[in-house]
Structure 1
Amino acid sequence: MSEVFEGYERQYCEASASLTRKCTAAAALQGEKLKQKAAEIKSGIDGAEALIRKMDLEARSLQPSVRAGLLAKIREYKSDLNNLKGALKRITSGNAQQGAREELLESGMADALGVSADQRSRLLRTTERQNQTTDRLRDSHRTMLETEDLGVSILHDLSQQRQSLLHAHRALDDVDVNVSKSRKTVGSMVRRMDRNKWIIGLIIALLVLAILVILYFKLVH
């Protein structure tokens, strides 16, 4: 529930309770005092009506899932306010005699104010239950956001670890390629050394043979 709506709602409930007390007190008045009290009640009813309009505007700006419940509460508040208007009208209807006011107080006022009190009590209980439900939903939403943040953090860490593993894998591939090249180079060097050994051996053999041939001809001649 919107905190703005809750603020208007608290103000209205307080204003409605105050207007009920003033209507009860006005029923026992007459003359100028009754006119002053009636004007005061009329001003309070106008203020309460303005609060209902503000609640209605705020409720219609919210999401549909929340809006329906708030509009239902506003209808009950309007009914409560209509009861207060009816009570004020009966008080100021021109029955100046004390007996008529007493009858109004005992019959119509008692019924209207009793209904209003019962409606306010029911509305306050409903509001409390809705506030508790809203708090639970808010806690669940906060828990969901925390879980989502934790999941995002874990995915981020896993992504970094994956990048590190891929980097290490590429490094190992580069090392393997370098080792293969080195192995080929060493193999090629070994083969050249073996070939050079055979060439040197052949040259030495030819030199020895040439020396032997030279010695032979010197000794014979």
Structure 2
Amino acid sequence: MSEVFEGYERQYCELSANLSKKCTAAGALAGEQKKQKLSDVRAGVEDAEALIRKMDLEARSLQPNVKAVLLAKLREYKSDLNNLKSEVKRIASGNLNAAARDELLESGMADTLTVSFADQRSRLMMTTERLNQSGDRIKDSRRTMLETEELGVSILQDLHSQRQALLHANNTLHGVDDNIGKSKKILTAISRRMSRNKWIIGTIIAVLIIAIALVLYFKLAK
């Protein structure tokens, strides 16, 4: 897994938990304090969006099997960020029930902090669970990568052996071609000698026949 992606991921998880805490606190405020808190939250949301974009770019630059896992995680983070944006809009629009807001204010800061910590703890536990699941998926992907790499090395070794065998066969064929060429030359030379010998033998036979004919002629002439 990319260490760069992990760094962005840690930053996002911390920022997301902090923004959730601020949203809870902003819901219990009013007036300028609420506006200031929401302004801080919106700035944090922009930082979170920037981290999401960086994680997306980093994930898309990795190998396909790792890329698929990281993009799946990224979709969860995007969904989490969208939920956070919706919460900010809800608080900013003032849709919070007035009676519920009064009840919240009357319940005191202790209840607000309790809810805030409980929500933050819930988000952190959910984030931790996602990280663990992602870690398992990444381990599986890494194991698959190693197995694929071993298979690739084995295939390359087989291809190298086959290449050596083909080169050896090619050299053998060249040797056979050379031997056939030499054999052709020898057979051609033998054929020429045989032809020459045939002419010589034919000439000798013709001379003998002529000599015998001359001898017979002279004997009969006497």
> Partners in 2 of 1:110 and 1:121 — Cα distance?
16
Structure 1 residue aligned with 2:128:
124
1:66 to partner: Cα distance: 3.9
CA distance in 2, matches of 1:106, 1:121: 22
Superposed displacement of residue 116, structure 1:
1.6
Matched length: 191
Once residues 169 and 75 of structure 2 are traced to their aligned partners in structure 1, the CA distance between those partners, rounded to angstroms, is 57
Cross-structure match for 1:189 = 193
Moved more, 128-137 or 151-160: 151-160
* TM-score for the superposition, normalised by structure 1: 0.58
Question: Displacement of 1:138 after TM fit?
Answer: 2.9
Alignment CA distance shift 1:16-1:139 (3 Å): same
- CA positional deviation for 1:106: 3.4
Alignment match, 2:151? 147
RMSD of aligned C-alpha atoms?
4.7
Q: Distance between the aligned counterparts of 1:134 and 1:43, measured in 2?
A: 37
Match of 1:138 in 2: 142
**Structure 1: runs of 5 or more not aligned:** 27-34, 87-99
Within 2, Cα distance between the matches of 1:110 and 1:9? Answer: 27
1:162 aligns with 2:166: yes
Pick closer, same or farther for the CA change 1:194–1:75 going to 2, 3 Å.
Answer: closer
Q: 1:57 maps to which residue?
A: 53
Distance 1:114 1:202, change over 3 A: same
Who is 1:96 aligned against?
Answer: none
Q: Does 1:199 align with 2:195?
A: no
- 1:187-213 Cα distance to aligned partner (Å, 9 max, x none): 331343254245346546766887899
Change (3 A) 1:12 1:69: closer
How far does residue 184 in structure 1 lie from its aligned partner after superposition?
3.6
Name stretches of at least 5 consecutive residues in structure 2 with no aligned partner.
26-32, 61-66, 92-103
- Aligned-residue offset at 1:183: 1.8
User: Are the aligned partners of 2:56 and 2:71 in contact in 1 as well (CA < 8 Å)?
Assistant: yes
1: CA distance between counterparts of 2:49 and 2:20?
Answer: 20
In our comparison, the structure showing a higher alpha carbon Rg is: 1
| Alpha-carbon spacing, 1:143–1:50, altered in 2? closer, same or farther (3 Å) | farther
What's the % identity of the aligned pairs?
Answer: 18
Q: Distance in 2 between matches of 1:64 and 1:110?
A: 38
Contact 1:8-1:51 within 8 A present in 2 as well? no
What is the TM-score with the length of structure 2 in the denominator?
A: 0.57
Residue deviations 1:141-194 (CA, integer Å, cap 9, x gap): 243244335424533542453244234324413422431342242133134325
- C-alpha spacing 1:78/1:48, structure 2 compared with 1 (3 Å): farther
Mapped to 2, the partners of 1:172 and 1:129 lie a distance apart of 64
